[in-house]
Amino acid sequence: MPAVCARGRRRWYHSGLRGDIIMLDWNKTDLLQALPEFDWQHLPKAGRALQPYCDFYRLRFSEASVHYAGRLSCAGYQLAVQSWAPAQVRGTAILVHGYYDHTGIYGSLIRFCLQQQLQVLIVDLPGHGLSGGEPAAIGSFQEYDEIFSVLVQRAQQFLPAPLHVFGQSTGGAIIVNYVLKRQLQPAQSPFTSINLLSPLVRPWRWQQVKMLQPLLGPFLRQLKRTFHPNSSDTVFLDFIARHDPLQPRFLNLRWVRALRHWVPFIEAQPPLELVVNIVQGDQDGTVAWPHNLQVLQQKFPQRRLYMLPGAGHQLVNESEALRERLYAQLASWLHDQPEASVSVEAADISG
Protein backbone atom coordinates (compact mmCIF):
# COMPACT_ATOMS: atom_id res chain seq x y z
CA MET A 1 0.00 0.00 0.00
CA PRO A 2 1.14 3.60 -0.43
CA ALA A 3 3.11 5.15 2.38
CA VAL A 4 0.43 7.50 3.63
CA CYS A 5 -0.41 9.46 6.74
CA ALA A 6 -4.02 10.64 6.95
CA ARG A 7 -4.68 14.07 8.45
CA GLY A 8 -8.33 14.85 7.88
CA ARG A 9 -8.85 14.88 4.12
CA ARG A 10 -5.20 15.68 3.44
CA ARG A 11 -2.74 12.86 3.03
CA TRP A 12 1.02 12.84 2.89
CA TYR A 13 2.65 10.63 0.28
CA HIS A 14 6.24 9.72 -0.37
CA SER A 15 6.49 10.51 -4.07
CA GLY A 16 8.64 7.88 -5.76
CA LEU A 17 8.87 10.14 -8.80
CA ARG A 18 11.32 12.43 -6.99
CA GLY A 19 11.76 10.93 -3.54
CA ASP A 20 10.04 13.91 -1.90
CA ILE A 21 7.53 13.90 0.94
CA ILE A 22 4.62 15.87 -0.45
CA MET A 23 1.07 16.62 0.59
CA LEU A 24 -1.65 14.90 -1.40
CA ASP A 25 -4.35 17.54 -1.27
CA TRP A 26 -6.75 15.95 -3.76
CA ASN A 27 -8.79 12.84 -4.42
CA LYS A 28 -10.00 11.47 -7.73
CA THR A 29 -13.73 11.77 -7.04
CA ASP A 30 -13.54 15.47 -6.21
CA LEU A 31 -11.21 16.17 -9.13
CA LEU A 32 -13.44 14.43 -11.66
CA GLN A 33 -16.48 16.36 -10.47
CA ALA A 34 -14.53 19.63 -10.54
CA LEU A 35 -13.65 19.18 -14.20
CA PRO A 36 -15.86 21.08 -16.66
CA GLU A 37 -17.54 19.36 -19.56
CA PHE A 38 -15.00 18.69 -22.29
CA ASP A 39 -16.28 21.07 -24.96
CA TRP A 40 -14.53 20.07 -28.18
CA GLN A 41 -15.26 23.37 -29.91
CA HIS A 42 -13.88 25.44 -27.04
CA LEU A 43 -11.43 23.23 -25.17
CA PRO A 44 -11.54 23.99 -21.42
CA LYS A 45 -8.20 25.01 -19.93
CA ALA A 46 -7.05 23.04 -16.89
CA GLY A 47 -8.12 24.85 -13.73
CA ARG A 48 -6.38 25.40 -10.42
CA ALA A 49 -8.09 22.34 -8.90
CA LEU A 50 -5.91 20.15 -11.13
CA GLN A 51 -2.61 21.78 -10.14
CA PRO A 52 -1.81 19.51 -7.13
CA TYR A 53 -2.47 16.45 -9.29
CA CYS A 54 -0.19 17.79 -12.02
CA ASP A 55 2.51 18.55 -9.46
CA PHE A 56 2.29 15.06 -7.97
CA TYR A 57 2.70 13.34 -11.34
CA ARG A 58 5.01 15.97 -12.82
CA LEU A 59 2.64 16.77 -15.66
CA ARG A 60 4.00 20.23 -16.31
CA PHE A 61 5.80 20.43 -19.62
CA SER A 62 7.95 23.29 -20.84
CA GLU A 63 7.12 22.15 -24.38
CA ALA A 64 3.38 22.80 -23.84
CA SER A 65 1.92 26.26 -24.26
CA VAL A 66 -1.51 25.24 -22.97
CA HIS A 67 -3.10 22.41 -20.96
CA TYR A 68 -6.75 21.48 -21.37
CA ALA A 69 -8.80 19.19 -19.12
CA GLY A 70 -12.43 18.22 -18.83
CA ARG A 71 -15.00 15.54 -18.18
CA LEU A 72 -16.46 13.46 -21.01
CA SER A 73 -19.68 11.45 -20.75
CA CYS A 74 -19.24 8.40 -22.96
CA ALA A 75 -20.37 4.75 -23.01
CA GLY A 76 -22.12 5.25 -19.68
CA TYR A 77 -18.97 6.53 -17.93
CA GLN A 78 -17.68 9.87 -16.70
CA LEU A 79 -14.16 10.09 -18.12
CA ALA A 80 -11.28 12.46 -17.43
CA VAL A 81 -9.81 13.84 -20.67
CA GLN A 82 -6.64 15.92 -20.91
CA SER A 83 -4.84 17.60 -23.78
CA TRP A 84 -1.56 19.48 -24.08
CA ALA A 85 -0.62 21.61 -27.09
CA PRO A 86 2.76 23.04 -28.10
CA ALA A 87 3.05 26.57 -29.48
CA GLN A 88 3.46 25.25 -33.03
CA VAL A 89 1.27 22.23 -33.83
CA ARG A 90 2.07 19.74 -36.58
CA GLY A 91 -0.71 17.25 -35.84
CA THR A 92 -2.44 15.38 -33.04
CA ALA A 93 -1.42 12.31 -31.04
CA ILE A 94 -4.05 10.21 -29.30
CA LEU A 95 -2.48 8.22 -26.46
CA VAL A 96 -4.21 5.09 -25.13
CA HIS A 97 -2.88 3.74 -21.85
CA GLY A 98 -2.66 0.16 -20.62
CA TYR A 99 -4.47 -1.83 -17.97
CA TYR A 100 -3.83 -0.46 -14.45
CA ASP A 101 -2.21 2.64 -16.04
CA HIS A 102 -3.41 6.24 -16.23
CA THR A 103 -2.42 9.62 -17.64
CA GLY A 104 -0.29 10.47 -14.61
CA ILE A 105 2.39 7.90 -15.40
CA TYR A 106 2.65 8.70 -19.13
CA GLY A 107 4.64 11.89 -18.74
CA SER A 108 7.57 10.72 -20.85
CA LEU A 109 5.33 9.83 -23.81
CA ILE A 110 3.41 13.10 -23.50
CA ARG A 111 6.68 15.05 -23.51
CA PHE A 112 7.96 13.11 -26.52
CA CYS A 113 4.82 13.92 -28.52
CA LEU A 114 5.03 17.59 -27.57
CA GLN A 115 8.65 17.64 -28.71
CA GLN A 116 7.42 16.32 -32.07
CA GLN A 117 5.03 19.31 -32.13
CA LEU A 118 1.97 17.12 -31.72
CA GLN A 119 -1.03 18.13 -29.65
CA VAL A 120 -1.67 15.35 -27.14
CA LEU A 121 -5.11 13.90 -26.38
CA ILE A 122 -5.46 11.27 -23.66
CA VAL A 123 -8.35 9.87 -21.64
CA ASP A 124 -8.26 7.81 -18.46
CA LEU A 125 -10.11 4.62 -19.37
CA PRO A 126 -13.10 3.52 -17.22
CA GLY A 127 -12.03 2.44 -13.75
CA HIS A 128 -8.58 3.99 -14.21
CA GLY A 129 -6.93 7.22 -13.15
CA LEU A 130 -9.39 10.04 -12.51
CA SER A 131 -12.23 8.45 -14.49
CA GLY A 132 -15.35 6.89 -13.03
CA GLY A 133 -16.32 3.25 -13.21
CA GLU A 134 -15.65 0.11 -11.21
CA PRO A 135 -11.89 -0.04 -10.55
CA ALA A 136 -9.95 -1.81 -13.31
CA ALA A 137 -13.14 -3.34 -14.77
CA ILE A 138 -14.90 -3.34 -18.13
CA GLY A 139 -17.96 -5.19 -19.36
CA SER A 140 -16.62 -5.71 -22.87
CA PHE A 141 -13.65 -4.55 -24.90
CA GLN A 142 -16.20 -3.04 -27.27
CA GLU A 143 -16.89 -0.44 -24.56
CA TYR A 144 -13.27 0.63 -25.02
CA ASP A 145 -13.94 0.73 -28.75
CA GLU A 146 -16.93 3.02 -28.29
CA ILE A 147 -14.82 5.45 -26.24
CA PHE A 148 -11.86 5.35 -28.62
CA SER A 149 -14.07 5.86 -31.67
CA VAL A 150 -15.53 9.01 -30.09
CA LEU A 151 -12.02 10.35 -29.46
CA VAL A 152 -11.04 9.63 -33.06
CA GLN A 153 -14.16 11.27 -34.48
CA ARG A 154 -13.79 14.38 -32.32
CA ALA A 155 -10.07 14.64 -33.02
CA GLN A 156 -10.74 14.46 -36.76
CA GLN A 157 -13.40 17.13 -36.44
CA PHE A 158 -11.78 19.59 -34.03
CA LEU A 159 -8.04 18.94 -33.60
CA PRO A 160 -5.10 19.54 -35.97
CA ALA A 161 -4.35 16.98 -38.67
CA PRO A 162 -2.66 14.61 -39.28
CA LEU A 163 -3.68 12.13 -36.60
CA HIS A 164 -1.25 9.71 -34.93
CA VAL A 165 -2.12 7.06 -32.34
CA PHE A 166 0.03 5.47 -29.65
CA GLY A 167 -1.17 2.53 -27.58
CA GLN A 168 0.61 0.79 -24.71
CA SER A 169 -0.43 -2.83 -24.03
CA THR A 170 -4.25 -2.80 -23.65
CA GLY A 171 -4.14 0.59 -25.37
CA GLY A 172 -2.55 -1.15 -28.34
CA ALA A 173 -5.27 -3.80 -28.24
CA ILE A 174 -7.92 -1.05 -28.38
CA ILE A 175 -6.31 0.43 -31.50
CA VAL A 176 -5.94 -3.00 -33.15
CA ASN A 177 -9.59 -3.73 -32.38
CA TYR A 178 -10.64 -0.41 -33.92
CA VAL A 179 -8.97 -0.95 -37.29
CA LEU A 180 -9.64 -4.71 -37.61
CA LYS A 181 -13.28 -4.48 -36.56
CA ARG A 182 -13.88 -1.84 -39.24
CA GLN A 183 -11.55 -3.48 -41.77
CA LEU A 184 -9.87 -0.14 -42.47
CA GLN A 185 -7.55 -0.26 -45.45
CA PRO A 186 -4.91 2.49 -45.89
CA ALA A 187 -7.19 4.81 -47.89
CA GLN A 188 -9.87 4.56 -45.18
CA SER A 189 -7.70 4.88 -42.09
CA PRO A 190 -7.92 8.13 -40.13
CA PHE A 191 -4.36 7.60 -38.86
CA THR A 192 -1.14 8.79 -40.41
CA SER A 193 0.77 6.50 -38.08
CA ILE A 194 -0.24 3.66 -35.75
CA ASN A 195 2.26 2.96 -32.98
CA LEU A 196 1.85 -0.06 -30.69
CA LEU A 197 4.02 -0.44 -27.58
CA SER A 198 4.08 -3.91 -25.98
CA PRO A 199 0.69 -4.59 -27.61
CA LEU A 200 -1.70 -6.97 -25.89
CA VAL A 201 -3.31 -9.84 -27.74
CA ARG A 202 -2.84 -12.61 -25.21
CA PRO A 203 -1.38 -12.11 -21.74
CA TRP A 204 1.39 -14.28 -20.40
CA ARG A 205 0.11 -17.71 -19.24
CA TRP A 206 -3.04 -17.27 -21.27
CA GLN A 207 -4.17 -20.88 -21.00
CA GLN A 208 -4.20 -20.66 -17.20
CA VAL A 209 -6.12 -17.39 -17.35
CA LYS A 210 -8.74 -18.92 -19.67
CA MET A 211 -9.28 -21.84 -17.32
CA LEU A 212 -9.33 -19.94 -14.03
CA GLN A 213 -11.68 -17.08 -14.90
CA PRO A 214 -14.80 -19.24 -15.49
CA LEU A 215 -14.05 -21.18 -12.30
CA LEU A 216 -13.47 -18.16 -10.07
CA GLY A 217 -15.81 -15.66 -11.72
CA PRO A 218 -19.06 -16.89 -10.12
CA PHE A 219 -17.54 -16.63 -6.63
CA LEU A 220 -15.05 -13.75 -6.74
CA ARG A 221 -15.14 -10.25 -8.21
CA GLN A 222 -11.44 -9.58 -7.91
CA LEU A 223 -8.06 -10.95 -6.91
CA LYS A 224 -5.34 -9.11 -5.04
CA ARG A 225 -2.89 -7.64 -7.50
CA THR A 226 0.72 -8.80 -7.49
CA PHE A 227 3.19 -6.14 -8.58
CA HIS A 228 5.65 -7.94 -10.84
CA PRO A 229 8.72 -6.08 -12.15
CA ASN A 230 7.68 -4.81 -15.59
CA SER A 231 10.48 -2.26 -16.05
CA SER A 232 14.16 -1.98 -15.21
CA ASP A 233 13.48 1.43 -13.61
CA THR A 234 13.39 0.53 -9.91
CA VAL A 235 12.24 4.02 -8.87
CA PHE A 236 9.18 3.66 -11.10
CA LEU A 237 8.47 0.16 -9.79
CA ASP A 238 8.58 1.39 -6.19
CA PHE A 239 6.32 4.31 -7.05
CA ILE A 240 3.51 2.30 -8.61
CA ALA A 241 3.67 -0.45 -5.98
CA ARG A 242 3.82 1.74 -2.89
CA HIS A 243 3.14 5.40 -3.58
CA ASP A 244 0.74 5.91 -6.50
CA PRO A 245 -2.77 6.60 -5.12
CA LEU A 246 -4.36 5.91 -8.52
CA GLN A 247 -2.97 2.39 -8.92
CA PRO A 248 -5.66 -0.31 -8.68
CA ARG A 249 -4.83 -2.84 -5.98
CA PHE A 250 -6.90 -5.69 -7.42
CA LEU A 251 -7.28 -7.61 -10.68
CA ASN A 252 -10.95 -7.34 -11.62
CA LEU A 253 -12.33 -10.60 -12.98
CA ARG A 254 -14.88 -8.75 -15.12
CA TRP A 255 -11.94 -7.38 -17.10
CA VAL A 256 -10.47 -10.88 -17.44
CA ARG A 257 -13.82 -12.18 -18.69
CA ALA A 258 -13.98 -9.36 -21.24
CA LEU A 259 -10.46 -10.24 -22.41
CA ARG A 260 -11.38 -13.93 -22.67
CA HIS A 261 -14.20 -13.06 -25.07
CA TRP A 262 -12.12 -10.53 -27.01
CA VAL A 263 -9.07 -12.68 -27.84
CA PRO A 264 -10.86 -15.18 -30.15
CA PHE A 265 -12.73 -12.30 -31.78
CA ILE A 266 -9.59 -10.39 -32.66
CA GLU A 267 -7.59 -13.46 -33.70
CA ALA A 268 -10.33 -14.39 -36.19
CA GLN A 269 -10.23 -11.06 -38.05
CA PRO A 270 -8.88 -10.98 -41.63
CA PRO A 271 -5.65 -9.10 -42.37
CA LEU A 272 -5.22 -5.49 -43.45
CA GLU A 273 -2.64 -3.68 -45.56
CA LEU A 274 -2.14 -0.95 -42.95
CA VAL A 275 1.40 -0.11 -41.88
CA VAL A 276 1.60 -0.61 -38.11
CA ASN A 277 4.67 0.26 -36.04
CA ILE A 278 5.39 -2.11 -33.14
CA VAL A 279 7.95 -1.76 -30.35
CA GLN A 280 8.45 -4.80 -28.14
CA GLY A 281 10.85 -5.53 -25.30
CA ASP A 282 12.37 -9.00 -25.06
CA GLN A 283 12.11 -9.03 -21.23
CA ASP A 284 8.34 -8.53 -21.23
CA GLY A 285 6.69 -10.96 -18.79
CA THR A 286 3.23 -9.40 -18.94
CA VAL A 287 2.04 -10.26 -22.45
CA ALA A 288 2.71 -13.40 -24.50
CA TRP A 289 4.74 -11.35 -26.94
CA PRO A 290 6.16 -14.15 -29.16
CA HIS A 291 2.61 -15.30 -29.91
CA ASN A 292 1.29 -11.75 -30.15
CA LEU A 293 3.91 -10.73 -32.70
CA GLN A 294 2.97 -13.72 -34.86
CA VAL A 295 -0.70 -12.73 -34.71
CA LEU A 296 0.07 -9.10 -35.55
CA GLN A 297 2.31 -10.18 -38.43
CA GLN A 298 -0.65 -12.13 -39.83
CA LYS A 299 -3.10 -9.26 -39.32
CA PHE A 300 -0.73 -6.55 -40.59
CA PRO A 301 1.71 -8.02 -43.15
CA GLN A 302 3.15 -4.51 -43.69
CA ARG A 303 3.96 -4.07 -40.00
CA ARG A 304 7.31 -2.62 -38.90
CA LEU A 305 8.84 -4.18 -35.79
CA TYR A 306 11.49 -2.74 -33.50
CA MET A 307 12.71 -5.15 -30.81
CA LEU A 308 14.15 -3.42 -27.76
CA PRO A 309 16.60 -5.77 -26.02
CA GLY A 310 16.52 -5.61 -22.23
CA ALA A 311 13.18 -3.80 -22.07
CA GLY A 312 10.23 -4.98 -20.01
CA HIS A 313 6.54 -4.36 -20.56
CA GLN A 314 6.29 -0.73 -19.39
CA LEU A 315 8.17 0.80 -22.30
CA VAL A 316 7.20 4.41 -21.56
CA ASN A 317 8.48 3.93 -18.00
CA GLU A 318 11.66 2.02 -18.74
CA SER A 319 15.15 3.18 -17.82
CA GLU A 320 16.29 6.44 -19.38
CA ALA A 321 18.67 4.66 -21.76
CA LEU A 322 15.93 2.35 -23.05
CA ARG A 323 13.43 5.20 -23.34
CA GLU A 324 15.92 7.15 -25.45
CA ARG A 325 16.12 4.25 -27.89
CA LEU A 326 12.33 3.85 -27.88
CA TYR A 327 11.69 7.50 -28.68
CA ALA A 328 14.47 7.69 -31.26
CA GLN A 329 12.76 4.87 -33.16
CA LEU A 330 9.30 6.41 -32.82
CA ALA A 331 10.66 9.76 -34.04
CA SER A 332 12.22 8.05 -37.04
CA TRP A 333 8.87 6.51 -37.97
CA LEU A 334 7.01 9.78 -37.44
CA HIS A 335 9.41 11.71 -39.64
CA ASP A 336 8.57 9.43 -42.55
CA GLN A 337 5.37 11.46 -42.92
CA PRO A 338 5.25 15.05 -44.29
CA GLU A 339 3.38 17.41 -42.00
CA ALA A 340 2.44 21.09 -42.29
CA SER A 341 2.95 23.33 -39.27
CA VAL A 342 0.07 25.39 -37.87
CA SER A 343 -0.12 27.59 -34.80
CA VAL A 344 -1.94 26.48 -31.66
CA GLU A 345 -4.22 29.50 -32.01
CA ALA A 346 -5.25 28.34 -35.47
CA ALA A 347 -5.86 24.87 -34.08
CA ASP A 348 -8.22 26.32 -31.45
CA ILE A 349 -10.11 28.41 -33.99
CA SER A 350 -10.59 25.47 -36.33
CA GLY A 351 -12.92 23.90 -33.77
pLDDT tens digits for 76-112? 999 999 999 999 999 999 999 999 999 999 999 999 9
Model pLDDT for residues 114-148, shown as the tens digit of each residue: 999 999 999 999 999 999 999 999 999 999 999 99
Q: Is the pLDDT of residue 2 over 50?
A: no
> Mean pLDDT in the chain?
89
The larger pLDDT score, comparing residue 212 to residue 130, is at 130
| Secondary structure of 37-48 in HEC code, one letter for each residue | ECCCCCCCECCH
End-to-end CA distance of the chain: 43
CATH of the domain at 202: 3.40.50.1820
The mean per-residue pLDDT over the stretch 274-286 comes to 98
Of the listed ranges 1-15, 179-193, 208-222, 268-282, the least confidently predicted one is 1-15
Q: How far apart are CA 164 and CA 46, in angstroms?
A: 23
Q: Give the model's pLDDT for residue 343.
A: 34
54 pLDDT tier (thresholds 50, 70, 90): very high
Please give the Cα distance from 119 to 88 (Å, whole number): 9
**What does pTM read for this prediction?**
0.90
Question: How many domains would you assign to the chain?
Answer: 1
Cross-strand bridge partners of residue 224: 250
Band of the pLDDT at 213, cuts 50, 70, 90? low
Q: What is the pLDDT of residue 16?
A: 44
Residue 112 belongs to domain spanning: 4-350
